[in-house]
Chain A
Amino acid sequence: MAWLDYFRRSSPGSANLAKDRLSIIVAREGRSRSKVNYLPQLRQELLQVLAKYEKIDLDQVTVNVESQGECEVLELNVILSEPATMRKTVDSRHAPFFTDQSRARSAQSSR
Chain B
Amino acid sequence: MNPTDAKFREELVSLLPKLRRFARALTRHPADADDVVQLAVERALTRTEQWRPGSSLLNWMLGIVRNAWIDELRVRKRRSEVFVADDNAALQVGESPTDRDIELWSIQRGLECLPDEQRLAIALVLVEGLSYAEAAELMGVPIGTLTSRLARGRSTLESLLVEDHAPRRMPEVNR
Task: Check if A and B associate.
Answer: no
